[in-house]
Amino acid sequence: MWRRLVLFVVVAVPFLSLLGYGFTRDAKEIPSPLIARAAPPFTLPRFDDGAIALESQRGKVVFLNFWASWCVPCRAEAPALERAWLGYRDRGVVFVGVNIQDKDEDARAFLREFRITYPNVRDDAGKAAIDYGVWGIPETFIIDRDGRITYKHVGALGRATITAKIEEALRGVVSASEGRGEYGATR
Amino acid sequence: MLALVLVALVISALAGSPAESQTPLDDRVREIAAGLRCPVCQNLSVADSPSEMAQQMRAVVRERLEAGQSRQEVEAYFLSKYGDWILLAPRRRGFNLVLWIGPFAGAALGLLVAAYFVRRWAGRRAAVRPGAPDPALLERVRSEAAADAGPVPPEVFASLPPLERERARLYEALRELAFDRRAGKLSSEDYEAMRADYEARAAQALLDVEAGQARERAGDRRRARGEEPATGTAPVGARRPRPLRTALAGGFVLAFGVAIGVFLTQAIRPRASSMDSMTGDFLTGTGPGGVSPTLSFQGNALERDLEEGRAAFDRGDFRMAADHFKRVLAVEADHPLALSSLALILARGGHAEAAQQAVERALARAPDHSFALWVNGLVLYEARRDYAGAIRAWEALLEQPLAPEDARTVTEMLADARRRLDSGAMAAAPSVPVPVRSAGDSRRVVGAVVLGDSLRAAGSPAGTLFVIARRGGGPPLAVKRIVSPQFPVQFSLGPEDVMVQGGEFRGEVTLLARLKRDGRAGPASPGDLEGVAERNPVPVGTTGVRITLETVR
Amino acid sequence: MTSTIGYGSLLLATLLAVAGMIAPILWRRTGRNAFFASALAAIVGQFAFVTVAGLTLVYALVTTDFSIRYVAMNTTRATPIYYRVTGLWGALEGSLLLWEWILVIFAALVAWQYRHRERELLPWVLFVFSGVSVFFLAVTAFASNPFETLAAVPADGRGLNPLLEDTNMLTHPPLLYTGFVGLTVPYAFAMAALITGKLDDGWVVATRKWTLTAWFFLSMGNLVGAWWSYHVLGWGGYWAWDPVENAAFMPWLPATAFLHSIQIQERRGMLKTWNLALIMLAFALTIFGTFLTRSGIISSIHAFSSGPVGLFFLGFLALVVLGSGGLLVWRAGRLRDRIELDSMVSRESAFLFGNVVLVSALFAILFGTVFPLLSEAVAGVKVSVGAPYFNGVTAPLFLALVFLMGVGPLIAWRRASWDNLRRNFLWPAAVALAAGAALAAAGVRDGYPLLALTLCVLVVAGIVFDTARAVRARRGLAGEGAWRALATITRRNQRRYGGFVVHLGFVLIVMGLAVSMSYSIEREATLDRGESLDVGRYRLTFEGLTATQQPTHVRVEGLFRAARDGRDVGVLNPALKYFPAQQSPIGRAVMRISLTEDLYVILSGFSNVEQRQATLKTLVRPMVVWIWLGGGVLTLGTLLTVWPLTRRAGAVVPAAAVAGGRMEATGG
């Protein structure tokens, strides 16, 4: 009998512990393989005229933010982003917003409402979003001067995180972990 | 025959499969997409998912195939962007082999084990055979089996004692055997062999039943003579008093009654906020504030909560941050840092009163706390428009030792506050709005929004006020957003508030004011307040417009 | 007031449940029947109070009493009454209350039915029922209270997720929950048997009908879920191997295995330990299923919002698994199986192998569902396990199952000689092979569908042959007409022929699955007005878009004219519904259904209504209707098995009745 009991416990307990382990994990998050790798290049049309190509920003730190007008956490973080842009624009940092899965009028209204002054581009076909492995919204990538992704943040950003991570990128330091804030799902 | 009909139907169904009108490219796109997982509606493949992202991903797959890439290359592309997660079936290498091989190994193992046991049992069975029984007994068995009127209904079967159940079971088997023989499913030799076997066992069962009945009767006789106690009945007699048990039972009932009373009163106490729950929001809160699923029992939880609260605040996760600060306060009631941070969150959320109280508590506890002073100033400045008060708070703050950037920020805010104070925005708004009937700017609409009589009694509601100007019935022309308004609140709509790029703010507009409790722009939700201007439409250039918030959605 | 009544009833029921656990222990200690009676009373009391709580919540929902948080979150004033009622199980708190309600209904029924029988087992059965009830009541009352009130009563509620406002919401969850809870009955009896040491067949025989009923509801619940997925969710499929779908399917497998292997236990007295283990596994899987749904550890579209409830469920699951497993291992020594197996080629071993296949399928599905966690824990890599894995692994197992389904009912008990095999299998095998050849000739060349269909024909042919022979024997015996003979043998062998019909239903389902999964055609395209898309025999022409304002949403419909083989067959209008609160629209697919195939049209998108361009996705799926028909046949078969057709004949076999010497005695 003891042998059978031990056998049973040896099977049952690890299974239950595995389920318990599940509580410490977020089932919905997808870790990104892009950290510390070269940022995928893109050339996308701007809302004002022209286009932005990522390569042209080489030598500057790029703060890349994927957003949409229907996304509520994007609205929460927009003022912080604009303020950070105003603070960093003279320090070799460029903010680029990428609008995905959205209508032109709605996106423009969003930009006007929050008085965004940093350049924004449109990704109608979603290719850039897929290139960056975007699955939540908003998502932010910080790319250092050599074109390497140093940080990825899924969800709304606060001022302190923005500052800290941009400073890290300016020094060329790759972040140890991804960041998480309130986010929604893409459509 | 039924089978042929089925086959015919199937063939006719499949005859529809046409010679290909489907291009091979479509096929390949579909095949690859069926192996990718949709990041939006998880658990559906990219091929099946109706979401926009899946459509875009399918387009990417198609493009790459058209460019000549192979299936592996396309999958490698997605793997490099999303990681292993994107494949619906894990790659067969490394640890994942456990997944692929496991079930088959398990099934094979199971079958082998089963076969092994079957062999063993069959072998053992062959060794044990009951001897040929008494012929008279056999006759009895045969006649009883022949008299069997049919299968025993399950309820009756279930109520039989085990030995009789066994006998009934064997008679049933004999009956079935005879029927199968009739139906031609058994050959004569098989039939004879099995019948003999069963009859032998039925004979044994008969003997067992009779022996059992004899024992029962003997037992009954003994019981009737009083030698054995009847089963299941307690001795009838004086019950010994059991004070201890009674006391325990009483105590249990009392405790439970008290518990019920407490929980009941807790349950019917109305919730003050969505984060408050019956047993307290620490362990079992069911509100959206919720609880972090990670359990940790380390010491110094206070410091950690503070840290995590700040981190959450910086990230933008205000609910989480508030949670952490509340936890700190649960341990240390007037922790100034936690109170002021909480006050800031409350103020941003539109709860100016609560924010004020919180920060005043913090200052009462630590009058020189720099963060508390800063937040105090912010609350007064932003939420209550008390510029004088804010100036006082920030001047006090400047007397504390501060980091140079912080000092700079405070000085800037001070200057701003002084400017506003000087420009004449009244700190305490008058109870009756004074329409500004000066010659106003002809490109603006100026006025005030007041609360309707029925609503005034409830006090100043929290939320964000939107003053919306429309031309005709169309989309909004201009919108003014006022955070945490103190009624009556003045507004001034001008060209800078125009929504449509290049639109002009002139002509006649219809004015609507809407107080949104959730603070977000959009249509009215339940609980929001709305009101229209007294004399709509209003020509641009009017001053003294009055909008009364009267309707509750 | 309402919430006080509801919550108070829940608390009282909890108290009674605790009492219901204590009473049997006291009965065992003192032997006093008064405690037995109080155990019964506790069950009845729980039933009464939980019913009051349930009715109170339904009342609050129907009258849209928004002072109760649950009502405010799950209904609006505009919600129709029947969807307000379904709000009872639309969210976490209410669904737990529903589970508890069904549990106490079952408990009361069992207590009522067995109150004069099974005197030894019943107190412990009630103990187990009260134990499970204590857990669910405690979680409902203390962790996810549906009667929580709000301080500020909102003017209108938030409303159900629009996806859930569908008629299937009326049937799918209650059916499924009844199936889950129904498995508690045999489990309770099994535990009672283990606790008392009365390990003979009493508990098996007593609960057979309950188990069959639970199994039936579980099957129906899963089929309705598949129907819902196919007809309403509009992605073109009926089963996505979503973790929660798996969780609902997994208890079905050991339940099916159990239904078959208890026949072996009844006839041969074997497999006692195995049966106990099976039923404990089935019950543990139902708890595991609700745990998965409510804990959020595995992502799923079905999951309720996760909260602390998940942790409590894990605790309970651990208790159930370790408790019952430990008890089984401890008492297993007492089980004396008779060795009654004669040969590897016999019906007993066919049943046994069938059991092995079912449990292997269970293991495969369980492993696949849990593997993402395991991979993350062990290898640190986050992987997905989806349809390709599950389909690949379960297909061969289910084929093996169909094969055994064909072989099992025909092969002889105990030992099948060559002669026996020849007699029983020659014709069915020949018919099956002929059918297979015909199918191959007609174009079915792929391995799996061909094999599946051939085996299905084998099963059907076997059933038909066997029944025909039995009818012929009966007619020879009693001179009855063919239909009368069929009726008689069915009446005398309800289980056998009911089982045949159930197998027939299952075969229809398998055929539908095999063909629709292998031979579906799918096309997707963006069309301008007037453009067409060809799919299979059909041609769809895009005619235009219309947008209408409905009470709760904006509806954009695409009009597509369908033609089959050139002949017009009507207009299909799939739609996209835009709800103000939802980010993305909810699609409404449209189908043209026939016995041979379904034409399935989905409107994926459009570029604003004026531009007149629509993206559509269309599928032609053959033989999907057969799945639903199979479900219907399954229902008939189950009814046939449980319906009381035999008269309640008095005592068993009085030897005195020999005098009658009726000829039909040895007949079937």
Instruction: Inspect the interface and report whether the beta carbons of A135 and B520 lie closer than 8 Å.
Output: no
In a domain, residue A39? The reply is yes
Cβ–Cβ contact A20 with C under 8 A: yes
Task: Enumerate the β-bridge partners of residue A62.
Answer: A94, A143
Q: What's the whole-number mean pLDDT along residues C586-615?
A: 84
Cβ–Cβ contact A123 with B under 8 A: no
Name the amino acid, one letter, at B65.
L
Nearest CB neighbour to A130, from listed B60, B314, B315: B60
Nearest CB neighbour to A125, from listed B42, B59, B520: B59
In a domain, residue A93? The reply is yes
Higher-pLDDT residue of B301 and C268 is: C268
Q: Which chains touch A (3 or more CB pairs under 8 A)?
A: B, C
Considering A80-84, B4-8, B157-161, B329-333, the range whose residues carry the highest mean pLDDT is: A80-84
- Tens of pLDDT along B44-98? 899 988 888 998 999 999 999 999 889 999 999 999 999 888 999 888 888 888 8
Instruction: Inspect the interface and report whether the beta carbons of B52 and A182 lie closer than 8 Å.
Output: no
Task: Enumerate the β-bridge partners of residue C586.
Answer: C577
Q: What is the pLDDT of residue C400?
A: 92
Q: Output phi, psi for A9, to 5 deg.
A: -65, -40
* Of the listed ranges B216-225, C493-502, C594-603, the one predicted with least confidence: B216-225
Instruction: Inspect the interface and report whether the beta carbons of B316 and A186 lie closer than 8 Å.
Output: no
Cα gap A12→C288, rounded to integer Å: 13
Instruction: Inspect the interface and report whether the beta carbons of B182 and C473 lie closer than 8 Å.
Output: yes
Q: If you measure CA to CA, which chain B residue comes closest to C357? A: B107
Nearest CB neighbour to A131, from listed B81, B83, B294: B81
Q: If you measure CA to CA, which chain A residue comes closest to B476? A: A109
Statement: residue B292 has pLDDT above 50: no
CB < 8 Å to A74, chain C = none
Is-contact C593 C569, C-beta < 8 A? Answer: no
Instruction: Inspect the interface and report whether the beta carbons of A187 and B40 lie closer than 8 Å.
Output: yes
What mean pLDDT value characterizes chain B?
A: 74
Cβ–Cβ contact A102 with B under 8 A: no
Instruction: Inspect the interface and report whether the beta carbons of C622 and B180 lie closer than 8 Å.
Output: no
Q: What is the pLDDT of residue A111?
A: 92
Instruction: Inspect the interface and report whether the beta carbons of C373 and A20 lie closer than 8 Å.
Output: no
Q: What is the pLDDT of residue A99?
A: 94
Number of domains chain A is built from: 1
* Of the listed ranges A161-165, B176-180, C257-261, the one predicted with least confidence: B176-180
Statement: residue B435 has pLDDT above 70: no
Statement: residue C657 has pLDDT above 80: no
Cα gap B177→C61, rounded to integer Å: 60
Q: If you measure CA to CA, which chain C residue comes closest to A32? A: C382
Q: What is the pLDDT of residue B157?
A: 67
* Of the listed ranges B207-221, C88-102, C486-500, the one predicted with least confidence: B207-221
Q: What is the pLDDT of residue B443?
A: 77
CB < 8 Å to B10, chain C = 439, 444, 453, 511, 515, 623
Optimal mutation site among A25, A67, A70, A105, interface C, most CBs of chain C within 10 A: A25
Statement: residue B436 has pLDDT above 70: no
Cβ–Cβ contact B521 with A under 8 A: yes
- Tell me the count of A-C CB pairs closer than 8 A: 62
- Tens of pLDDT along C400-423? 999 999 888 888 777 777 777 887
Q: What is the pLDDT of residue B263?
A: 62
Q: Helix/strand/coil (H, E, C) string of chain A? A: CHHHHHHHHHHHHHHHHHHHHHHHCCCCCCCCCCCCCECCCCEEEECCCCEEEHHHHCCCEEEEEEECCCCHHHHHHHHHHHHHHHHHHHHCEEEEEEEECCCHHHHHHHHHHCCCCCCEEEECCCHHHHHCCCCEECEEEEECCCCEEEEEEECCCCHHHHHHHHHHHHCCCCCCCCEECCCEECC
Higher-pLDDT residue of B239 and C505 is: C505
User: What is the distance in angstroms between the Cα of B29 and the nearest Cα belonging to chain C?
Assistant: 11
CB < 8 Å to C298, chain A = 22, 27
| Among B398, B399, B377, CA closest to B389 | B377
CB < 8 Å to A13, chain C = 322
Q: What is the pLDDT of residue C613?
A: 84
In a domain, residue A153? The reply is yes
In a domain, residue A37? The reply is yes
Instruction: Inspect the interface and report whether the beta carbons of C299 and A9 lie closer than 8 Å.
Output: no
Instruction: Inspect the interface and report whether the beta carbons of B286 and C209 lie closer than 8 Å.
Output: no
Q: What is the pLDDT of residue B269?
A: 52
Statement: residue C653 has pLDDT above 50: no
CB < 8 Å to A16, chain C = 314, 317-318, 321-322
In a domain, residue A35? The reply is yes
Q: What's the whole-number mean pLDDT along residues C605-633?
A: 86
CB < 8 Å to C378, chain B = 95
Instruction: Inspect the interface and report whether the beta carbons of B317 and A182 lie closer than 8 Å.
Output: yes
Listed in sequence order, the residues at least 6 apart from C478 whose beta carbon sits closer than 8 Å to its beta carbon are: C485, C488, C663, C664, C667
Q: Which chains touch C (3 or more CB pairs under 8 A)?
A: A, B
Instruction: Inspect the interface and report whether the beta carbons of C473 and B183 lie closer than 8 Å.
Output: yes
CB < 8 Å to A23, chain C = 295, 297, 310-311, 314
Instruction: Inspect the interface and report whether the beta carbons of C521 and B187 lie closer than 8 Å.
Output: no
Q: What is the pLDDT of residue B155?
A: 63
End-to-end CA distance of chain A: give it in Å, rounded.
Answer: 56
Statement: residue C250 has pLDDT above 90: yes
- Tens of pLDDT along B310-347? 888 877 778 888 888 887 787 666 778 888 888 888 88
Listed in sequence order, the residues at least 6 apart from B24 whose beta carbon sits closer than 8 Å to its beta carbon are: none
Q: What is the pLDDT of residue B259?
A: 67
Task: Enumerate the β-bridge partners of residue A152.
Answer: A141
Q: If you measure CA to CA, which chain B residue comes closest to A160? A: B314
In a domain, residue A10? The reply is no
- Tens of pLDDT along A15-64? 888 888 887 777 777 888 888 889 999 999 999 889 999 999 999 999 99
Instruction: Inspect the interface and report whether the beta carbons of B9 and C595 lie closer than 8 Å.
Output: yes
Q: What's the whole-number mean pLDDT along residues C282-301?
A: 84
pLDDT band at B10, cuts 50/70/90?
A: low
- Tens of pLDDT along B509-551? 888 888 888 777 777 777 888 888 887 788 888 888 888 888 8
pLDDT band at B273, cuts 50/70/90?
A: very low
Task: Enumerate the β-bridge partners of residue B451.
Answer: B549
Q: What is the pLDDT of residue A110?
A: 92
Statement: residue C668 has pLDDT above 70: no
Cβ–Cβ contact A33 with B under 8 A: yes
Q: Output phi, psi for A121, to 5 deg.
A: -125, 165
- Tens of pLDDT along A137-163? 899 999 999 889 999 999 888 888 888
Cβ–Cβ contact B520 with A under 8 A: yes
Optimal mutation site among B1, B23, B43, interface C, most CBs of chain C within 10 A: B43
CB < 8 Å to B315, chain A = 155-158, 161, 179-181
Q: What is the pLDDT of residue B173?
A: 79
What mean pLDDT value characterizes chain A?
A: 88
Residue C541 CB-density burial (10 A; 0-12 exposed, 13-18 middle, 19+ buried): middle
- Every domain of chain C and the residues it spans: 1-161, 521-625
Cβ–Cβ contact A72 with B under 8 A: yes
In a domain, residue A173? The reply is yes
Q: What's the whole-number mean pLDDT along residues C39-66?
A: 93
* Residue C520: Cβ within 10 Å count: 20
- Tell me the count of B-C CB pairs closer than 8 A: 398
Residue C522, CB-side half-sphere exposure with 13 Å CA sphere: 20
User: What is the distance in angstroms between the Cα of C296 and the nearest Cα belonging to chain A?
Assistant: 7
Is-contact C574 C588, C-beta < 8 A? Answer: yes
CB < 8 Å to A4, chain C = 329, 332
Q: Are strands C597-607 and C613-622 parallel, antiparallel or unpaired?
A: antiparallel
Nearest CB neighbour to C414, from listed B52, B194, B285: B194
Higher-pLDDT residue of A84 and C478 is: A84
Q: What's the whole-number mean pLDDT along residues C174-182?
A: 95
Q: What is the pLDDT of residue C529?
A: 86
Optimal mutation site among B53, B63, B313, B464, interface A, most CBs of chain A within 10 A: B53
Give me the interface pTM, i.e. the ipTM.
0.91
Q: If you measure CA to CA, which chain A residue comes closest to C299? A: A27
Is-contact C421 C345, C-beta < 8 A? Answer: yes
Q: What's the whole-number mean pLDDT along residues C597-608?
A: 86
CB < 8 Å to C316, chain A = none
Q: What's the whole-number mean pLDDT along residues B389-402?
A: 81
Optimal mutation site among B88, B314, B497, interface A, most CBs of chain A within 10 A: B314
Optimal mutation site among C298, C329, C384, interface A, most CBs of chain A within 10 A: C329
Q: If you measure CA to CA, which chain C residue comes closest to A9? A: C322
CATH of the domain at A166: 3.40.30.10
Give the 3-state secondary structure of residue B309.
helix
Cβ–Cβ contact A176 with C under 8 A: no
Domain that holds residue A89: 30-185
* Of the listed ranges B445-454, C250-259, C559-568, the one predicted with least confidence: B445-454
In a domain, residue A14? The reply is no
- Tens of pLDDT along C520-533? 888 888 888 888 88
